[in-house]
Amino acid sequence: MASRIYGYAGKLLRVDLSQGTAAAEELNEDTLKKCIGGTGLGVKVLYEEVPPELNWADPRNRLVLASGPLGGTTIKGSGTYSVVTKGAQTNGATSTQANGFFGAYLRTAGFDGIVIQGKAKSLAYLYIHDGTAELRDAEHLRGKDTWETEEAIKKELGLTEKGSSVIGIGPAGENLVRFAAIAGDKGHVAGHNGPGAVMGAKNLKAIAVARGRGGFQVKDRAALKAVGDELFENTKNTPGLNIYQWGTSMGFVNGEKAGTLPVKNYTTNIYPETAPFMGENYRKRYQIKPNPCWACQMHHCHIMKIPDGPYAGFVGEEPEYEQWANWGPVIGNTNVDAAFVLANDVDRLGMETNEAGWVVGFAMECFQKGIITGKDTGGLELTWGNAEAARTLLRQIAHRRGLGEILAEGTMRASQRLGGEARNMAVFTRKGNAPRGHDHRTRWFEMFDTCVSNTSTIETTSILLRPEDLGLPAQVGQFDSDGIATFVAKSKGSMQFEDSLGVCRFTVRTDVDRLAKALNAATGWDFTLQDAMDMGRRTVNMMRVYNLRCGITKEMDAPSPRYSSIPSDGPSQGRNVAPHWEGMLRLYYRLMGWDEATGKPLPETLKALGLDNIVADVWGKQQANR
Task: Name the CA dihedral angle for 331, 336, 341, 344, rounded to a multiple of 10 degrees.
Answer: 80
User: Which stretch of DSSP H or E encloses residue 221?
Assistant: helix 221-236
Of 37, 19, 20, 134, residue with least CA distance to 525: 37
Identical topology for domains 242-424 and 444-624:
no
* pLDDT for 240: 64
Per-residue model confidence as pLDDT tens digits over 6-31? 999 999 999 999 999 999 999 999 99
- CA–CA separation, 272 vs 254, rounded Å? 10
User: Which stretch of DSSP H or E encloses residue 124?
Assistant: strand 124-129
Q: In 3-state terms, what secondary structure has residue 144?
A: coil
- CA–CA separation, 384 vs 333, rounded Å? 7
* pLDDT for 22: 98
Question: What is the distance in angstroms between the CA of the first residue and the CA of the last residue of the chain?
Answer: 41
- CA–CA separation, 151 vs 144, rounded Å? 10
Q: Which residues contact 48 (CB under 8 A, 6 or more apart)?
A: none
* Positions in the chain short of pLDDT 50: 1
The β-bridge relationship of strands 204-210 and 124-129 is parallel
Is the Cα torsion angle 244, 509, 81, 329 positive or negative in sign? Answer: positive
- CA–CA separation, 26 vs 542, rounded Å? 23
How many other CB atoms sit within 10 Å of the CB of residue 85? Answer: 28
* pLDDT for 42: 98
The β-bridge relationship of strands 11-16 and 81-86 is unpaired
- CA–CA separation, 349 vs 393, rounded Å? 12
* pLDDT for 1: 39
Of 420, 272, 437, residue with least CA distance to 361: 437
- Contact by Cβ (8 Å): 255, 270: no
Q: In 3-state terms, what secondary structure has residue 136?
A: strand
Of 183, 175, 194, 204, residue with least CA distance to 92: 194
**259-273 burial: b if 16+ Cβ within 10 Å, else e:** bbbbbbbbbbbebee
Three-class secondary structure assignment of 373-429: CHHHHCCCCCCCCCHHHHHHHHHHHHCCCCCHHHHCCCHHHHHHHHCHHHHHCCCCE
User: Which stretch of DSSP H or E encloses residue 228?
Assistant: helix 221-236
**What architecture does CATH give domain 444-624?**
Orthogonal Bundle (1.10)
Fold of 242-424: 1.10.569
The β-bridge relationship of strands 113-117 and 11-16 is parallel
Domain range summary for the chain, segments of one domain joined by +: 11-210, 242-424, 444-624
* pLDDT for 243: 84
* pLDDT for 300: 87
Homologous superfamily assigned to 11-210: Aldehyde ferredoxin oxidoreductase, N-terminal domain (3.60.9.10)
Per-residue model confidence as pLDDT tens digits over 32-56? 999 999 999 999 999 999 999 999 9
- CA–CA separation, 337 vs 342, rounded Å? 9
